[in-house]
Chains A and B, each alone.
Chain A
Amino acid sequence: MRLHEYQAKEVFAEAGLPTPDAELAESTDEVLAAADSIGYPVAVKAQVHVGGRGKAGGIELVESDDEARAAADSILGMDLKGYTVERVLVEAAVDFVDELYVGVTMDRGEGKPVAMVSSEGGVNIEEVAEENPEAIAREHVDPAFGMHPYQARRAVYDAGVEDDVASDVAGVLSTLYDLWADSDAEDTEVNPVMVTSDREVVCADAVMNIDDDALFRHPDLAEMEEAAAEDDLEAKANEYGFDYVRLEGNVGIIGNGAGLVMTTLDLVDYYGGAPANFLDIGGGAKAERVANALDMVFSDENVDSVVFNIFGGITRGDEVAQGINDAIAQFDELPKPIVVRLAGTNAEEGMEILNTDALDVEETLEGAVQRAVEHAGGEGQ
C-alpha cells in the first residue's frame, strides 16, 4: 500500500524528520489560502500515485497569487498518467544549494534491508543506479539488530555528503530506517533531501510503501488507504480482492496461481492472440469467487473470448466447476465463448458437474489456449 506524499510527510514529521510547512488543498481557493498562510514562494504538487510528477507537469513552483491560481487551475483535474488529480499539496518552497537521495528498502537478493544515500539526488535515481552505481552508497543492515548509528554515518560519508551536514543527513537515514522497520514498509525514501543555503537539511519529498501482508499489525496505516482513481475494472478487482491487471488484447484469462496465469498469457501470445487481462483467483477459491472472476472478465468490453485455466492443488476442481456453472446460469446465451481447462485436485468430479453444453472444454492447456485464440479471431495454430 502506497501512501500519498502528504500522508507520508505527516508520518515523517511525527517521527521528527524536517519537512517543509505544507497544506492539502482541493480547490483553487484553498490553494490560494494555503499559499497565503505559508508565504510565497510555494510548490503546488499533485497528490496521485505516479512517479515523475514533476516532468509530467504535476508540480509547479509559484511566487504570486496569479501564478498560484494558474497552477491550481492547470493541475487540479488534470490527467496524470491515467489518474485524475483531485488534491494538491501546497508546500513552502525550499531555497536549496544541494539535493541528496536517501532511502531504505529490502534487498531481496541478499535477504536483508539496505540503506542507500547518494549525493546525486533530485534526479531520476533509477538512472543513476543504472549508469553510475558507485554514486549510491549502500549499507546492508542486520534486521535483528537494526541499523547501527555508525552504519548511517558510513553511508553518508561514502556518498560524499559534505561534512557540515553529514550528521543531519545520517540522522535522516537513521529515522527512515526506524520508520521502515516499525511500519513494515517495503520502502521509505526521500528524493530529494534538500540542503539549504544556511546548511539546513529538509525532506522535500516523501515516499512510503507499506507491505500489504503486514497491514494487519498497522491498523493506523491501513486506515490511510484511499481508493485511487483507477479505472472501473481495477476498482472492481480491488472490491473482489483479485490480483488483476488490465491489458490491451481481447482474450480474457482466468487462472489459479500467478505462475500459471502468466504462462497462460504467454501461450495466448505464442499462439497468435492477445491477452486482455491477468486475473489470478488465488489458491483454494470457492464457487462464489470463480463466479466473480467471470463477472470481472465479462465486464471488459474488449474481451471476445475467455480461457479458464485451473490446475487444482489447494484449489478443488469441483468447486471451480460449480462456480462456472453458477456464473453462466444467469445467461440464456453466453455473451462470449468460454474455454475451460480443468486439471489437478478433484478435476474428474469437476468435469462431471461442469455444464459442458454451454462451454468449450479442452483437456490440455495448449489446446484450451488455441481454442480461445481462435474464438477471439486470432490466428490459432
Chain B
Amino acid sequence: MSVLVDDDTRVVVQGITGGEGEFHAGQMIEYGTNVVAGAVPGRGGEEVHGVPVYDTVSRAAEAENADASVVLVPPAFAADALFEALDSPVDLVVAITEGIPAQDMAKVYKRLSETDTHLIGPNCPGVITPGEAKLGILPGNIFSSGNVGLISRSGTLTYQVVDNLTDRGLGQTTAIGIGGDPIIGTDFVDALSLFEDDPATDAIVMCGEIGGSDEEEAAEYIDANMDTPVAGFIAGRTAPPGKRMGHAGAIVSGSGAGTAESKIEALSEAGVPVGDTPEEVADNVEELL
C-alpha cells in the first residue's frame, strides 16, 4: 500500500521538453513510473522518450487518462502551469520548481483551496512509492519498499534520512518531500493524516527545519489525532537566529516560534522522539516498530 501514488498513477509531465523536464521524465520512466504524456504549450504532437506531448494539460489528461501532473516548468511560468494543472482533471500535482514568487504562490494556494486536488510542493523533491512510482527528482536507488512513511521539508535531508533507514532494512511505504517554501500545498498535517489512514504504514518519520510553525501545528495534530507512531528530526539547531527573518514576518509569527528548540519541545511533548542525528532517527524508528 502507499499514499498519493502507486503503479497505477498515470502521470503528465508539464515542461517535458525543457532540460530538467526531459531528464527527469526519463529518470521517472526508468524507475517504472507510468508517465503517459507531456504538456508544453506549442509543442503538441511531439514525442519525448516515446511519450506523446500535448499543448495543454487538459488535452493530455483527457487523451491519456492521466490523474497526476509533475511540474518542471521555470519559475516565471510555474504559477500559470499550476493554475492550469488545478483547472484540469488531475487529482495530484507535484511542483518541483524552485524560486516561484511568494505572491504567485498565495494566488495558487487560494485557487487550490477551491479544489479537491492535492498539491505537493513547490520547491520539493517530489513523491515516491518505492518500487512503484516516483514523481519528481528523488534518486530512486536509495529507497526501498517497506512500512515507514516519510515526510520532509528538505530534499537532500530526505535522501539522507532515507539512506539511514534503508541501510537498516527499514523500507518505506511512500516518501513525500513537501518543500521548504513559505507557502506550500500539502503540509505536515495533511501528509500525516494520509499516512494515518494507510494500513501499510506502521511508523512515520517527519523531518522539519527552523522557520514557520508547521512542526508545532503537526505536533498538536499528532497528539490529538494519531495512532501511528511518529519519529522526528529538526534541522537548524545551530543556525544563527534572524538572518533572513523580515521585520513584519517576525511580527506575524512572534519571535519565539520557529526555532529548533520550540519545534523539538512541541514534538517531544506530543510523544514524538526527536533524534539528534539522522542515525538516531533510524534507531528511534526501529524502537517504534
Contact = CB atoms under 8 A, between A and B. Distances in A.
Contacts of A312: 139, 159
Interface stretch (A6-14, A72-80, A100-108): A100-108
A257 B157 contact: yes
A344 interface: yes
Contacts of A238: none
Residue of A142, A260, A278 most packed against chain B (CB within 10 A) = A260
B101 A211 contact: yes
Contacts of B233: 263
B137 interface: yes
B288 interface: no
A259 B157 contact: yes
Interface string A295-317: 00000000000000001111000
Interface in A199-250: 207, 209, 211, 213-214, 216-217, 245, 247
A125 B155 CA distance: 35
B53 interface: no
A359 interface: no
Contacts, number: 188
B42 interface: no
A143 B103 CA distance: 8
Contacts of A186: 102, 246, 248-249
B102 A270 contact: no
Interface stretch (A111-119, A166-174, A324-332): A111-119
Main secondary structure of the interface of A (DSSP, over half): mixed
Contacts of A259: 152-158, 180, 207, 209, 235
A267 interface: yes
B41 interface: no
Contacts of A311: 156, 159-160, 163
A126 B237 contact: no
A187 B160 contact: no
Q: How large is the interface on B (under 10, 10 to 19, 20 to 34, 35 or more residues)?
A: 35 or more
Interface in A244-268: 245, 247, 255-260, 262-263, 265-268
A367 to B, nearest CB: 10
Contact of B75 (A213, A245, A256): A213
Contact of B137 (A144, A181, A270, A313): A313
A81 B35 CA distance: 54
A187 B180 contact: no
A130 interface: yes
Interface in A261-305: 262-263, 265-270, 275, 278, 283
A275 B240 CA distance: 11
Contacts of A187: 246-249
Residue of B20, B155, B238, B251 most packed against chain A (CB within 10 A) = B251
Contacts of A51: 247
Contacts of B104: 214
B246 A116 contact: no
Contacts of A278: 239
Interface string B66-102: 0000000001100000000000000000000011111
A262 B156 contact: no
Contact of A257 (B100, B155, B163, B279): B155
Contacts of B240: 245, 247
A207 B278 contact: no
Contacts of B250: 126, 129
Contacts of A313: 125, 137-139, 155-156, 159
Given A106-B103, A111-B105, 4 more contacts: A107-B252, A129-B252, A144-B107, A266-B236
